[in-house]
Amino acid sequence: MSLKRGRRPKVLDLEAEYQQHLITLREMIGKPVPLSRSYTQGEQPILVAIEDGTATVRFLNGAVLTGVPIRDLVDDAAYWRG
């Protein structure tokens, strides 16, 4: 049985998906990341580090925000869906 591309299997391996997303996020360290608008409506901050399920980001004005839950590294305009 073959699955169509983009279709998810009936049973998800959440740990494997989490690990894959964590790898993708780690590759973004040092680059601008989308952040939920509950934090900011200005320029996107730079991802500095990821530890224990939280992120550290630095804004263009030099402010550093630690302890940001990884789930908040989203863009309200659906950045992660593409």
Residue 14 has a pLDDT of 75
Scanning 3-77, the segments in alpha helix (DSSP H) are: 14-27
Contact 33, 45 (CB under 8 A): yes
State the pTM of this model: 0.51
Kindly state the percentage of the chain with pLDDT values over 70.
Answer: 72
pLDDT tens digits, 12-39: 777 888 888 888 888 988 988 777 665 6
Candidates 43, 22, 44; CA nearest to 33 is 44
